Amino acid sequence: MWHSEPTTASELMEVTGLTRATVLALCRELADHGWLQVLENARQAGTYTKGRPALRYAFRQNACYVVGVDAGQHRISASVADLRGCEVGYAQRALQSRLHDPDQHTGAERQQEILAIVDAALEQAAVAAADVGSMVIGVPAPVDVEGRSPEGLNRFWGRMNPGLVSMGAEYGWDCAVENDANLAALAELNSGPAAEDSSFAALLSGERLGSGIVVSGALWRQPRGSAGELGMLELVNGVESTMGLGWWARHLAQDAIRAGAAEGSLSGLRADEVQAEQVFAAASRGEAVALEIIDELADRLARICVVLTGLLDLDRIVVSGAVAPALAGVVASAKEKLSAYMYAPWLDIATSSLGEDAVRIGAVASAVERVQERALDGEPAERKMGQGSRATS
């Protein structure tokens, strides 16, 4: 990672452990490819007066841009960011109810919906499509090394990822598709030094359950893309489903309303209009039915934590996704219940502070990584500018 401030060859030698000749050769190559800017030397800058003046370099964080997309079932959001991952443009759209159901739209419609939101983010950032180096799209489905999702047992996966890896071709971009929970885990991994050496799971828990696994500070990826899939929870007593905590909060409240058992604020709602956030708010006010739902969700979460920690000996489980900020009470209760199921006093269960941005933040980080990995491949960055096949206004 390049420093924010101009850096000398000597400083880079100290950081990398490489010889001066090797550092200078790499810096020349990176400068030739447009990733570094060669500045006036230290003597010319007035910061050095004796001996050979130090060569100074600055990282060109706007040499190109990246796009990170969270292509969920109900909402799509996209960020445009520079090569330090700093967001310069953003767009999001809640999907029409027809598009919530994968069986009610075609793969081409889903691609066009995503492209429209990406175009809006580029326009908001005033970035041309030709200036984008990489795009990463997160989807609620397992994704293999080629960016494709299986369509056999679960048709939902193929509907969420209908060949999205080909979308970059229209722009002339490098494009990758990744499981959304993996990207949420990557976002957590990059969010602070505490995650660098730990092993944890980022558990997306809104409508469906999915987990991204980090082992000893590295995201666990497998070529088939099935690492972190939670289908086995359908066989676990007390869970028996891969639906998320947000989904269960809503549906348990609907059952209570239909049975005439709801009270307080929930009793004034129709079953078809109740939302998970209303259940959590009712619980915070001490409403009995809502508290019973929270207790059931906590028991479900504790059992899920047992499965993940028992298999992987994790240090931490981070409940992530848009619903995470509302789940503090569920997580606190799950911690208390955990000891009844397993001995794991070291295990930390926490809610993510990234909320609904987690997948998109991880997608941006992944896109930056892809640019870094290919920094010396192909044409220099400045020659790529202006060559995209699709422009934004």
Spans of all domains in the chain: 7-59, 65-186+357-384, 193-353
3-state secondary structure the chain: CCCCCCEEHHHHHHHHCCCHHHHHHHHHHHHHCCCEEEECCCCCCCCCCCCCCCCEEEECCCCCEEEEEEECCCEEEEEEECCCCCEEEEEEEECCHHHHCHHHCCHHHHHHHHHHHHHHHHHHHCCCHHHEEEEEEEECCCCCCCCCCCCCCCHHHHHHCCCHHHHHHHCCCEEEEEEHHHHHHHHHHCCCHHHCCCCEEEEEECCEEEEEEEECCEECCCCCCCCCCCHHHHHCCCCCCCECHHHHHHHHHHHHHHCCCCCHHHHCCCHHHCCHHHHHHHHHCCCHHHHHHHHHHHHHHHHHHHHHHHHHCCCEEEEECCCHHHHHHHHHHHHHHHCCCCCCCCCEEEECCCHHHHHHHHHHHHHHHHHHHCCCCCCCHHHHCCCCCCCCC
Q: What is the pLDDT of residue 57?
A: 79
- Give pLDDT tens digits for 112-122: 999 999 999 99
Q: What is the CATH number of domain 65-186+357-384?
A: 3.30.420.40
Q: What is the pLDDT of residue 391?
A: 40
Give the pLDDT band of residue 154 (cuts 50, 70, 90): confident
Pick the CATH number of 193-353 from 1.20.120.1200, 3.90.1310.10, 3.40.50.10470, 3.30.420.40: 3.30.420.40
pLDDT at residue 242 is higher than 60: yes
More confident residue, 369 or 17: 369
| Domain 65-186+357-384 in the same topology as domain 7-59 | no
Question: Could you tell me the pTM of the whole model?
Answer: 0.86
The residue-averaged pLDDT of 116-137 equals 96
- Give pLDDT tens digits for 304-316: 999 999 999 999 9
Q: What CATH topology corresponds to 7-59?
A: Arc Repressor Mutant, subunit A (1.10.10)
